């Protein structure tokens, strides 16, 4: 009998099944549309395309984007609940290959726009007849200065699998072969793996946590010469491409362009994080007291305050989430209710299902949420988070062209992270939880916020320092280790005991090898959300119209402009960033008050 306390999605509204003839029909249409783009690509290269023709070509691109998204989403959603079904896996792989082939023509079209001569491009950019595409053309314009000629781009593209991409894969090869040995835990000999160590870092015994942490870092220390050499080459490939070939004036130019901010905005984030290091120490000093520890170490960050587990069945989590959203905005809550009602959520834990959680947008067919609900606090907030993505995607899918169905990483997390704060506020303000449970919930949330604002920012600052120094000297293993260790010591000071082994901890972070300058986006998006939440608390009625306009905009305008125009917030102002740290400090005070109470 099916468990009615969980949700199961219905993806047959996208396609009825793997044999649905509309799949092949859509693939034929995709091929035809790519062929239709070719003459426009030629006209762009010849600088003879008119605004009317460009508008027509963008309409073709809309259809291409719409069908690619639909095909990809269906094949992935089908696969991720049938991981042991070879037919589902093969179908997904075949659609992936088709999409990879078909998007070559799509990419060539947009790349041709990047290579137009400046006068011809500016004429199109300022043409009022195609003002609908202003932000799309503006984004292309910003990337033009980093675009090389066709032959140069072709050479770089050809070598990329054997350059930065190869070093990234080499990191995975080293890490996958690491042996962490065994450790006696609770009287049993446990074979350690990376995932096992992560799971056990919330063990209630401090000595166990320390042993796990030290074993992990000792193992990474053994591989430090290889990780250092690999990372130096990742940096070398990245900066050769960006700074030496494309003549970028800042080591974070590419990352800032992709996120529609300036390199100075990212450096402001580093500076504000340093100025607020007392908040980091304040929270961990309080946690030391709550844990009743004589000495607080770097292994105690994830220590549980209590053995008690908050049991939150799925139906209860759904009710609390919807109740909190109704208080926030009945209109907004209805969108979430519709997603539940339309069977677009799959929460049933089962064998053969993809782990983790995500929200997949399909455009006209709505957004789908996948997770395995575990009847606990984390699952409840994961549900809130993914529902934020789903509502956000629903709003801009209805309001915008498919070419604007997407956001930068910074803006994409807006609704998801705000949903978590809305739910937290509801639980703290109502008598749904005991004071003891509120302490546990608030500590979990603060711990997450502090980690994002300080650790994720520090990771990108470490990258920034390494990449910048690499332009003037050859980095050694000792140089890289010292850059990381100095940043950690500056943050921890005497509040947290930090052994020398910590200097090898940078190599644990895969993002730096795979996607340089990725982690700061978590911090920036969180600070945007904290600013929005404070604005909401100050003026609930005045906040909602501007916030909904921001979500509806999708990628049709830059986040900085949307924040300024609709909510009078300036992301370029360091005080904007500071307000988020101030708000988290208030949460720490609230936690301390609850403990005293």
266-320 pLDDT, tens digit per residue, is: 999 999 999 999 999 999 999 999 999 999 999 999 999 988 888 999 999 999 9
Minimum mean pLDDT range among 87-91, 154-158, 341-345, 564-568: 154-158
Residues near 198 by beta carbon (within 8 Å), at least 6 away in sequence: none
Q: Is the pTM of this model over 0.75?
A: yes
Compute the half-sphere exposure of residue 178: CA atoms within 13 Å on the CB side of its CA: 27
High-pLDDT (> 70) share of the chain, %? 99
Q: Is residue 3 pLDDT above 60, yes or no?
A: no
Q: Is residue 88 pLDDT above 70, yes or no?
A: yes
**Distant-in-sequence contacts of 287-291, Cβ < 8 A, 24+ apart:** 287/443, 287/447, 290/443, 290/595, 291/206
Burial class (CB in 10 A: 0-12, 13-18, 19+), 569: buried
Residue written as tokens 């010292």? 482
pLDDT of residue 465: 98
- Rounded CA-CA distance 511/515 in Å is 5
* Nearest to 309, CA basis, from 421, 438, 437, 449: 437
Token pair, residue 283, equals 């929270």
Position with higher pLDDT, 308 vs 400: 400
Are the CB atoms for 18 and 91 separated by under 8 Å? yes
Domains and CATH numbers, the chain: 21-144 (1.20.140.70), 314-438+529-572 (no CATH)
Residues near 367 by beta carbon (within 8 Å), at least 6 away in sequence: 339, 344, 359, 360, 361, 389, 390, 393, 394, 397
Residue written as tokens 């000495």? 295
Q: Is residue 4 pLDDT above 70, yes or no?
A: no
- For 189-225, the pLDDT digits (tens) are 999 999 899 989 999 999 999 999 999 999 999 999 9
| Residue 453: its H or E element | none
């Amino acid at each position: 009998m099916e468990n009615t306390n969980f949700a199961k999605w219905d993806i047959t509204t996208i396609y009825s099944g793997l044999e649905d003839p509309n799949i092949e029909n859509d693939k034929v249409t995709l091929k035809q549309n790519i062929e239709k783009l070719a003459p426009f690509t030629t006209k762009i290269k010849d600088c003879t395309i008119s605004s009317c023709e460009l508008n027509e070509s963008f309409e073709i691109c809309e259809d291409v984007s719409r069908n690619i998204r639909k095909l990809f989403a269906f094949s992935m959603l089908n696969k991720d609940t049938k991981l042991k079904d070879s037919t589902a896996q093969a179908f997904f792989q075949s659609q992936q290959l088709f999409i990879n082939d078909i998007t070559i023509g799509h990419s060539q079209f947009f790349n041709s726009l990047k290579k137009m001569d400046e006068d011809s491009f500016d004429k199109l950019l300022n043409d009022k007849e195609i003002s609908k595409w202003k932000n799309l053309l503006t984004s292309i314009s910003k990337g033009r200065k980093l675009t090389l000629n066709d032959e140069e781009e072709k050479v770089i593209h050809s070598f990329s699998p054997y350059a930065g991409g190869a070093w990234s894969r080499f990191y995975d090869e080293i890490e996958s072969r690491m042996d962490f040995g065994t450790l006696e835990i609770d009287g049993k000999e446990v074979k350690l793996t990376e995932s096992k160590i992560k799971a056990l870092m919330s063990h209630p015994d401090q000595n166990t946590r320390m042993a796990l942490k030290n074993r992990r870092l000792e193992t990474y220390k053994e591989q430090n010469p290889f990780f250092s050499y690999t990372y130096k080459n990742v940096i070398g490939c990245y900066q050769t491409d960006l700074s030496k070939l494309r003549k970028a004036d800042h080591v974070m130019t590419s990352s800032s362009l992709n996120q529609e901010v300036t390199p100075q905005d990212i450096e402001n984030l580093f500076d504000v994080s340093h100025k607020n290091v007392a908040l980091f120490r304040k929270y961990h000093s309080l946690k030391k007291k709550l844990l009743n520890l004589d000495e607080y170490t770097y292994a105690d960050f994830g220590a549980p305050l209590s053995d008690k587990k908050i049991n939150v069945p799925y139906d209860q989590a759904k009710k609390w989430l919807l109740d909190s959203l109704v208080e926030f905005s009945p209109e907004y809550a209805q969108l979430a209710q519709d997603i539940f009602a339309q069977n677009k959520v799959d929460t049933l834990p089962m064998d053969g299902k993809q782990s983790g959680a995500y929200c997949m947008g399909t455009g006209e067919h709505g957004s789908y949420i996948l997770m395995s609900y575990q009847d606990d606090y984390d699952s409840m907030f994961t549900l809130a988070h993914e529902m934020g993505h789903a509502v956000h995607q629903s709003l801009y899918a209805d309001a915008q062209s498919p070419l604007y169905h997407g956001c930068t990483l910074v803006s994409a997390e807006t609704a998801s992270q705000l949903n978590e704060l809305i739910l937290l506020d509801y639980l703290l303000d109502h008598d749904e939880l005991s004071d003891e449970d509120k302490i546990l919930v608030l500590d979990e949330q603060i711990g997450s916020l502090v980690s994002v604002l300080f650790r994720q920012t520090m990771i990108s600052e470490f990258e920034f320092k390494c990449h910048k120094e690499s332009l003037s000297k050859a980095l050694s293993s000792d140089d890289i280790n010292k850059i990381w260790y100095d940043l950690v010591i500056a943050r921890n000071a005497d509040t947290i005991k930090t052994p020398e082994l910590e200097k090898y901890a940078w190599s644990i972070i895969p993002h730096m090898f795979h996607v340089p300058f990725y982690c700061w986006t978590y911090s920036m998006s969180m600070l945007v959300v904290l600013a929005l939440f404070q604005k909401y608390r100050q003026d609930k009625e005045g906040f909602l119209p501007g916030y909904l306009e921001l979500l509806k905009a999708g990628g049709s305008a830059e986040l900085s402009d949307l924040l300024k125009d609709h909510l009078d917030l300036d992301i370029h102002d360091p005080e904007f960033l500071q307000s988020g740290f101030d708000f988290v400090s208030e949460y720490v005070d609230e936690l301390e008050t609850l403990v005293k109470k």
